[in-house]
């Protein structure tokens, strides 16, 4: 016989959206049940942000050693060649995932969130059935937060399997593929492609658009393209993947030629789709916006008391957006009046070099109003040079409204610049103007001085260029 569980709040999905919502709700005294079919932490922690960044870090370390073995860098050489025991690298990466997964479990236990393991199937908007390890359970709630996340998109003619893999497959490979072909030059494909190129794979990228990282402007992604080309990653831009024949990917190039790319693995990273099927969404009477669940600026769906957050509700599909929405909905359920009105959501791409973007780029801003743009190259930044990051062609760029100098966007590309995203988004959230940045004393020598100089440049008085 099914057990019945009644609760004030039921959260479906324990990713960065769902588990943050559950923790915040519990902090506020809301009786909460969190349901997940898989390991707590969701895509981000188990098969996304964290394991990918761990592999990227390990790959960078291996490549540094390999380069030092070929020719001494900074006067430091290595006798012999470094070895890669990929299974141990993957165990190290899994250790980080396990530790963070354990941390989420502990936080939820301490906050007294009741965690139920199993796959939810809704029978109406506020009731779902779940097969738990303890037996069938029916859960009914006053409020439901849907945070079921997203799934990798499969390409017609290239179904995921042993040979054709998604990012999840790439993060659980048992060996470094000798020849890796990547379909899709978005951030997930290029982050993983960069890591595997550093591990020694011969990487080829096939992208339908005529440039890499199409969501960023071309000037910002040029240093990344240069790095890929310099490191023998073959790029087929404006090209169409056709399908697999005899272990090779058929491709139609931008010039209309048909070529065949032999591959040990083909990694398809052409985007992610909301996970909105197979769990009874159709029983809930919820309006959709295309493939995403439609929500208002409080993340309320069209059904009263049902909320949706994270990748399920649209772009940007990023962990920190999911968490911010989860936090807000928990506070609304506990009685606060709030709206999701982020002045800026930063996006970071952990390629080589890294890319950060907050707010609008110069072209987008210039279509709306007159703007000032200030750009400062890392080549003229002491800290970048002292970290061997001066020669990548990287820069920081600030875009501001001409009339009142209000900052509308900040973009940067360069080695180790992901950590600058916090300063960029802080100044934008606080409604900063160029003079604010110009008046702040930035520590020397740091990469942040390039941001200071970009604001000075926009004001017409940069010091170091
Ligand atoms: P998810 O994290 O997808 O969690 C959804 C959860 O719901 C899952 O645990 C799933 O098991 C559970 N679930 C689904 N259906 C049911 C059901 N019916 N019953 C019970 N449980 C269910 N974002 C960044 O911000 N920075 C990055 O660097 C970054 N890197 C990434 C790298 C990769 C390779 C990938 C794939 C993604 C990356 N992302 C990154 C995106 C990020 O992972 C997602 O934006 C984020 O995880 C979305 O959070 P979410 O809570 O909406 O959903």
pLDDT value of residue 39: 98
Helix axes 187-199, 49-70, angle to 10 degrees: 40
Please state whether 13 falls in left (phi above 0), alpha (psi between -120 and 50) or beta.
Answer: left
Give the whole-angstrom CA distance, residue 299 versus residue 307. 6
pLDDT value of residue 343: 87
pLDDT value of residue 397: 98
* Distances in whole angstroms, Cα of residue 241 to Cα of each of 142, 155, 156: 47, 9, 10
Of 231, 232, 442, 444, the active-site residue reads: 444
pLDDT value of residue 372: 98
Beta carbon of 37 within 6 Å of any ligand 1 atom? yes
Give the whole-angstrom CA distance, residue 131 versus residue 117. 8
Predicted TM-score of the model (pTM): 0.97
User: 164-270, superfamily in CATH?
Assistant: FAD/NAD(P)-binding domain (3.50.50.60)
Domain ranges of the chain: 3-47+91-151+273-333, 164-270, 347-459
Active site residue 444: yes
- Atom 53 in ligand 1: residue holding the nearest Cα: 149
| 3-47+91-151+273-333 against 164-270: fold identical | yes
Helices (H) and strands (E) in the chain, counts: 13, 24
- Counting ligand 1 atoms within 8 A of each CB, the residue from 43, 133, 327 with the most, and so the one to mutate, is 43
Helix axes 448-458, 421-429, angle to 10 degrees: 40
347-459: which CATH number, 1.10.760.10, 3.30.390.30, 3.40.50.300, 3.40.50.720?
A: 3.30.390.30
pLDDT value of residue 337: 97
Domain 3-47+91-151+273-333 has CATH 3.50.50.60: yes
Give the whole-angstrom CA distance, residue 306 versus residue 433. 39
pLDDT value of residue 2: 81
pLDDT per residue as tens, the chain (465 positions):
789 999 999 999 999 999 999 999 999 999 999 999 999 999 999 999 999 999 999 999 999 999 999 999 899 999 999 999 999 999 999 999 999 999 999 999 999 999 999 999 999 999 999 999 989 999 999 999 999 999 999 999 999 999 999 999 999 999 999 999 999 999 999 999 999 999 999 999 999 999 999 999 999 999 999 999 999 999 999 999 999 999 999 999 999 999 999 999 999 999 999 999 999 999 999 999 999 999 999 999 999 999 999 999 999 999 999 999 999 999 999 999 999 998 899 999 999 999 999 999 999 999 999 999 999 999 999 999 999 999 999 999 999 999 999 999 999 999 999 999 999 999 999 999 999 999 999 999 999 999 999 999 999 999 999
Q: Is 209 exposed, middle or buried (0-12, 13-18, 19+ CB in 10 A)?
A: middle
CA 51 / ligand 1 centre spacing (Å): 13
Beta carbon of 318 within 6 Å of any ligand 1 atom? yes
Beta carbon of 326 within 6 Å of any ligand 1 atom? no
CA 376 / ligand 1 centre spacing (Å): 35
Under a CB-based contact definition with an 8 Å cutoff, are residues 410 and 376 in contact?
Answer: no
């Amino acid at each position: 016989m099914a057990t019945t569980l009644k609760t004030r709040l039921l959260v479906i999905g324990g990713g960065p959206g769902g588990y943050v919502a559950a923790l915040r709700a519990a902090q506020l005294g809301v009786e909460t049940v969190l349901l997940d079919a898989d390991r707590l932490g969701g895509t981000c922690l188990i098969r996304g942000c964290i394991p990918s960044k761990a592999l990227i870090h390990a790959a960078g370390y291996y490549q540094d050693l390999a380069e030092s073995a070929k020719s001494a860098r900074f006067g430091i050489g290595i006798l012999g060649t470094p070895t890669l025991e990929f299974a141990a690298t993957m165990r190290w990466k899994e250790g980080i995932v396990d530790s963070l997964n354990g941390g989420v479990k502990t936080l939820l236990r301490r906050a007294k969130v009741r965690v139920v393991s199993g796959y939810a199937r809704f029978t109406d908007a506020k009731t779902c059935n779940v097969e738990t390890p303890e037996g069938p359970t029916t859960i009914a709630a006053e409020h439901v937060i849907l945070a079921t996340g997203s799934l990798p998109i499969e390409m017609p003619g290239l179904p995921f399997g042993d040979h054709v893999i998604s990012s999840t497959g790439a993060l659980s490979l048992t060996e470094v593929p000798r020849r890796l072909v990547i379909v899709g030059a978005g951030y997930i494909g290029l982050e993983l492609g960069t890591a595997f190129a550093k591990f020694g794979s011969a990487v080829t990228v096939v992208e339908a658009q005529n440039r890499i990282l199409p969501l960023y402007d071309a000037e910002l992604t040029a240093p990344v393209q240069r790095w890929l080309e310099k490191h023998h990653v073959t790029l087929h831009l404006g090209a169409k993947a056709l399908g697999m024949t005899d272990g090779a990917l058929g491709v139609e190039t931008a010039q209309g030629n048909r070529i065949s790319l032999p591959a040990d693995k083909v990694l398809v990273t052409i985007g992610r789709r909301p996970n909105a099927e197979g769990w009874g969404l159709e029983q809930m009477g919820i309006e959709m916006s295309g493939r995403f669940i439609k929500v208002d600026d409080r993340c309320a769906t069209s059904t009263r008391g049902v909320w949706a957050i994270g990748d399920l509700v649209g772009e940007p599909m990023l962990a920190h957006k999911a968490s911010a929405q989860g936090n807000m909905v928990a506070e609304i359920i506990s009685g606060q009046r709030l709206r999701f009105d982020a002045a800026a959501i930063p996006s970071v791409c952990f390629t080589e070099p890294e890319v950060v973007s907050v707010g609008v780029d110069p072209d987008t801003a210039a279509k709306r109003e007159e703007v000032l743009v200030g750009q400062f190259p890392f080549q003229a930044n002491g800290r970048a040079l002292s970290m061997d990051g001066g020669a990548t062609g990287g820069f920081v760029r600030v875009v501001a409204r001409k009339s009142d100098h209000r900052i509308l966007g900040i973009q940067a590309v360069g080695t180790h610049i992901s950590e600058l995203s916090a300063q960029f988004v802080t100044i934008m959230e606080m409604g900063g103007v160029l003079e604010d940045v110009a008046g702040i004393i930035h520590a020397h020598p740091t990469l942040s001085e390039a941001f200071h100089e970009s604001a000075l440049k926009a004001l017409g008085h940069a010091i170091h260029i």
